[in-house]
């Protein structure tokens, strides 16, 4: 019997329908504008696709979980947290997660958006795998299943015991204030663990790519084998690029941009100005990045320090994109958004992604 933590952010997604680009901090405004809850419906789709056996829920009282479980006829659950106020908040999400961790949950499944993902990750980091049922206005983080039904498939597989594959997935921090003002400012908030089934709903006979960590190490070995001592390498954020730093036995920031040359860490957690300064000192530069987030942004989400100004100096051929085959499979298209549309177009309609030792995939690119 698997123990699944189940949390609904009852307000997730409300801002979307009324044009608020997110609901963080403006639930009342959304209500005034006529918004109605979205996430209970998504939770219903998830629960109605889930078998009623083999799973025991740990949940939150009322609208944050228990109500939906009762409505869908689930009786095997335990309330581990009860919100104190009338309105629930991100603090309730975090406290509920901690209570679930205390009760040894095998997985925390949440129904919400990027804000909820950030709250869940903030509470439990990588201690417990997490999975999101997409219900928010913004779904940039890659911790979400593609649909509520896909989430149910993953959980079903997990409770059947046929499951041992987990993957790294970025939780993105999106500044909603700036987002509402028309600027999408993102950075990687953290890297969570998610249960991973390749193309979980497509085919009975799945293709197996092998262990994610092992594949990251393959990529790292290859990249290290082609590194030249006369070249500066900017390592982007994410666990695949971190594997490259690990292979070089260098500390790295994981969530920022680091610079490496001749096996030495030249600078870490660089901002755009820091990168531009380095470019005045190095003639040969390569930029190694991994697609980030559910949509697969090569540039423009989580690594906005690699700006159009930077790319104009290095040239777009300096870019080396790396990603594991599993990540590429769940990311059908890649995106480039470096802030300069003319430069974006120069990348063309496909991009080569290093996905193993001396192996790459050509992926369709959108701008």
Partner 1 sequence: MQTKIILDENELPKKWYNIQADLLSPLDPPMHPQTKKPLEPADLEAIFPKELIRQEMSQDRYIDIPEEVRDILLLWRPSPLFRAHKLEKFLKTPAKIFYKYEGVSPPGSHKPNTAIAQTYYNMKEGIERIATETGAGQWGSSLAFATQLYGMECKVYMVRGSYDQKPYRKMMMQVWGAECVPSPSPDTNAGRAMLEKDPNTPGSLGIAISEAVEDAATHANTNYSLGSVLNHVCLHQTIIGQEAQKQLAMVDATADIVIGSAGGGSNFAGTAFPFVKDNIDKKSETDIIAVEPAACPTLTKGLYAYDYGDVAGLTPLLKMFTLGHDFIPPSIHAGGLRYHGMAPLVSKLHADKLITSTSVHQNEVFDAAVTFARTEGIIPAPEAAHAIRVVIDKALECKKTGEEKTILFNNSGHGHFDLSSYEAYFAGNLPDYEYPAELIAESLRHLPSL
Which C-beta is closer to partner 1: that of 174 or that of 261? 261
Nearest in space to 179 (alpha carbons), one of 33, 301, 269: 301
* Parallel/antiparallel/unpaired status of strands 55-60 and 77-81: parallel
The SS3 call for residue 29 is helix
The SS3 call for residue 53 is coil
d(CA 120, CA 34): 28
Which C-beta is closer to partner 1: that of 137 or that of 354? 354
CB of 224 to partner 1, least distance (A): 10
Which C-beta is closer to partner 1: that of 42 or that of 327? 327
Which C-beta is closer to partner 1: that of 62 or that of 198? 198
Token match 């970025």: residue?
A: 170
Which C-beta is closer to partner 1: that of 270 or that of 322? 322
Which C-beta is closer to partner 1: that of 118 or that of 330? 330
Which C-beta is closer to partner 1: that of 210 or that of 348? 210
CB of 208 to partner 1, least distance (A): 8
CB of 186 to partner 1, least distance (A): 27
Q: Across the chain, where does the E strand assignment appear?
A: 2-8, 55-60, 77-81, 107-112, 130-134, 166-174, 186-195, 232-235, 258-261, 264-267, 285-289, 297-299, 319-322, 334-336, 350-356, 359-366
CB of 222 to partner 1, least distance (A): 7
CB of 202 to partner 1, least distance (A): 6
Helix axes 90-102, 114-124, angle to 10 degrees: 40
**Given the rule CB under 8 A, which residues bind partner 1?**
198-199, 202-203, 205-211, 214, 222, 225-226, 228, 320, 325, 328-329, 352, 354-362
Distances (CA, A) of 317 to 147, 192, 301, 323, 343: 36, 31, 20, 17, 12
- Count of CA atoms in the C-beta half-sphere (13 A) of 138: 26
Is residue 154 within 8 Å of 144, Cβ to Cβ? no
Which C-beta is closer to partner 1: that of 201 or that of 250? 201
Structure tokens at 298: 């090569």
CB of 198 to partner 1, least distance (A): 8
CB of 265 to partner 1, least distance (A): 21
CB of 325 to partner 1, least distance (A): 6
d(CA 7, CA 66): 9
């Amino acid at each position: 019997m698997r123990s699944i933590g189940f949390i609904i952010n009852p307000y997730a997604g409300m801002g979307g329908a009324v044009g608020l680009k997110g609901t963080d901090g403006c639930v009342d405004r959304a209500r005034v504008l006529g918004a109605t809850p979205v996430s209970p419906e998504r939770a219903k789709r998830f629960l109605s696709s889930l078998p009623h056996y083999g799973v025991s829920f740990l949940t939150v009282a009322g609208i944050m979980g228990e109500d939906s479980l009762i409505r869908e006829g689930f009786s095997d659950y335990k309330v581990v947290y009860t919100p104190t106020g009338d309105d629930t908040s991100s603090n309730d999400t975090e406290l509920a997660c901690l209570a679930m961790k205390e009760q040894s949950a095998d997985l925390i499944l949440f129904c919400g958006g990027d804000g909820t993902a950030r709250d869940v990750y903030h509470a439990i980091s990588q201690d417990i795998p997490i999975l999101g049922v997409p219900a928010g206005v913004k779904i940039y983080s890659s911790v979400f299943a593609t649909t509520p039904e896909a989430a149910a498939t993953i959980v079903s597989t997990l409770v059947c015991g046929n499951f041992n594959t987990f993957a790294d997935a970025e939780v993105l921090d999106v500044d909603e204030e700036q987002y509402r003002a028309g600027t999408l400012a993102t950075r990687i908030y953290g890297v969570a663990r998610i249960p991973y089934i390749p193309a979980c709903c497509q085919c009975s006979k799945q293709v197996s790519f092998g262990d994610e960590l092992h594949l990251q190490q393959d990529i790292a070995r290859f990249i290290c084998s082609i590194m030249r001592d006369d070249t500066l390498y900017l390592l982007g954020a994410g666990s695949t690029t971190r594997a490259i730093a690990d292979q070089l036995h260098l500390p790295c920031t994981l969530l920022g941009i680091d610079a490496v040359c001749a096996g030495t860490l030249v600078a870490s957690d660089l901002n755009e100005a820091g990168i531009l300064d380095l470019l005045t000192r190095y003639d040969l530069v390569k930029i190694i990045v991994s697609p980030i987030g559910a949509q697969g942004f090569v540039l423009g989400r989580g690594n906005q320090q690699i700006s159009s100004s930077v790319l104009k100096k290095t040239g777009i051929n300096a870019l080396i994109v790396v990603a594991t085959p599993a990540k590429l499979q769940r990311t059908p298209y890649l995106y480039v958004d470096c802030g300069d549309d003319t430069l974006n177009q120069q990348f063309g309609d496909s991009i080569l992604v290093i996905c193993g030792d001396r192996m790459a995939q050509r992926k369709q690119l959108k701008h």
